[in-house]
Chain A
Amino acid sequence: MGCPRCSTPAVHPGRRLARIALLGNPNTGKTTLINALAGTRLQVGNWPGTTVEKLEARLGDLTLVDLPGTYSLFATTPEERLARDALLADPPDALLVVLDAGNLERNLPLALEATELGIPMAVVLNLFDEAREKGYDLDPARLEALLGVPVVATVASRGEGVDRLIEAVQTAPVPAPAVIYPPAIERALARVAGAIDAPAARAIAALLLAGEPVAAPETARKAAEAARKELAALGLDPFLEITGARYARARELFQQTLRGHNPRPTLTDRLDRFVLHPVLGPVLFLLGMLFVFRFTFLLSAPWVDFIGGVQEVLAGWTYGLGLPGLLASFLADGLVAGVGTVLAFAPVLFFLYLAMSFLEASGFLARSAFIADRLMHAAGLPGRAFIPLVLGFGCNVPAVYATRTLESFADRLRTALAIPFMACSARLPVFALFAAVFFRERAALVVFALYLLGLAVGLLTAWLLGRFGRLEPSTGVMELPPYRLPRARVLLLQAHARTMSFVKGATGPILLAMVLIWALLHLPPGPLEQSLYARVAGALAHLFAPLGLGDWRLVGALIPGFIAKEVVVGALGVSFLGAAPPDALGFLAGLGQLAAAFLAALQGTLAALLALFGLPSLPAAAGGPTALQAALRGAVTAKAALVYLVFVLLYTPCVATLFALRQELGRRWTTFSVGYQLTVAYLVALLAARILP
């Protein structure tokens, strides 16, 4: 069947097409489309060297690749640049340009731009049902005749029209360039394109002419630079001329494709009256945020506990093997504990990713950004930074990953560097330990003040970076996409792939940190006072003396705190009270414990599902002081305790957060952030030591 009205003869079928790329604006249903095409063969990975998600599927000898959502090859976000570079540096064998049929006039310019890439292409009018509901009567055959490439109408969510796509793209011709520019621009394009030996010469020439930094031969760059000067002398801005011609052509094509239009209000119009209502909107927004927070942490908690249970059993078994003491300790407290630490993040990340992709694909994320923008703007951040910052109070690791929903690198950087100051739930046990002893009835107030201090330091960090970091300012410009129900299968697949990407990458670094800390604590064998740990802590104690923290046992506990903040409590226990004897575990007893832990996790999930819709409950008040608390009271003053908590609040949260920062921001910024956190923690703690009575 192919394309009967196409001007260029279609290439014979049977031609081997290795790679087909899907190109389209954000929110055109590309992900749903590739899911409909690929079914269970859909795979989620990353673009090489980046954390940008790549959806891919193999269909026989074809590979389908989903490019990041793109408005134009004139890229404005890291994802758009990636899509452009993928198209230019390693062109696919054919293109499927996916357009939102219900917003055709705005989507068409990308298809017109794509005709200049010199790649066989077919056009998909997706969301054709939505277009009909909006009252559009479109004629795909007419558009096919006008563009000279196959045009297929689809409803990807129901699989309609999808079977025709593969055939259409396999027989698709290389389109003729669809836009004719004003003569001066055409002459300049011809000159620049003449110096480029690639099928995409016209597209690259247009980008160079508009001053875009794309890879091209030196001669082409020089020609473009000269042409830009000449055009400027004529008073012509190449970007405005080129896009203007494309928009004008898109409008013509749209009007010729349109048979009729009866505008009708859509679900989005009706819903937004509530969701963005001046009074109702903020209430729904806060409830929504609370729900996401509780969904992530309530549902993951039973599984984090389960992983803790498994870790305990494995450690018990290791001690039960009768190995030499040091070896058993290395295996149980070093390796098993390290792997357990990494895996404990997996449930949290999985549920967070589920929540975030649902919010993003459904259209709610953009609305929440719209409502929160004014608040965040004060700190120089966009509205989208609100969710990652709030998540930081639960756990910094998923919060750092949630910055991916921000559009520019500058915004991601500002937000991700602020997140480590948010008091995550792992810091609470340390706060609680000290607050209960030293501040008694004012304990809750002190903990609350610490949370506020963390938030203030974080927001100030973002503001300072924006003010003095020579970064591009944040913008409030964004599309509020129509409300849609995302595919559960795609959400689960994405959440799983993203979680595994963390587990695979983070295991090495976290295990290494864990083994280092183990070696500090256990070498040379003997009492803790003679270990490397005590010596390092002793040296650090000098450094912390100006803060009033001269006790090596107190300062030392900050070192294992790099693994995770709650470890500080255990380390203090070992230093002040001595190590508890390890619990050896028989094989059967261990199996029993595993089964019990699994059942408890299932029960916990059920309870969490019910609690999700109930009111938040406050944690039960703790009983009398523990042995550790009694020991601390004898060793530390209330003022020193508060200074200590300020330092714990502000210094590097954990290795896992550092790993997340490295994945998102790169090594350089991560190193900077560690130095920054330690400096800020020390200075603020010093300030606290000076001003507190």
Chain B
Amino acid sequence: MVKRGKAWKFGDDVNTDIIISGKYKFSITDLDQLSKHAMEAARLEFAAKVQKGDFVVGGRNFGCGSSREQAPLVLKHLGVAAVIAKTFARIFYRNAINIGLPAVECDWVDKICDGDVLEVDLSKGVVRNISCGESYVVKPLPPQLQLILDEGGLVSYVKKHGKLPW
């Protein structure tokens, strides 16, 4: 499936407190309310302006820090179609897949500018930058993870298959 949307560009080491701060995580459990504070410490306008289908683009080590699953959850809840980064911190990466948010490793994120229109085709493993006419080949997911992502996450997988993938 090809997804098309706008890039929201962030830097290296975007940590879980930037994505969703503990001060909100420990006082708000409603996802509608919690999501209003997503990425707040980096870009105050993000939660209000991000559109369904947009992409979050980071640099190295995206999602470092805490194991809070609320981090990928708030992004998914706001309609973010995928997070694209040079590298991911491992817990965020697993969490994203497990809740059905594509986490795409791409070596070429430096070429993507804030506001660029992107098309992400995960089945072909390519990110197309419509704004500047470039295409970037991305790393495929390990097959074990692709299975989970294809079903929309681990909970959906279990609901559909009646058992865990392992």
Asked if chains A and B come from one complex, the reply is no
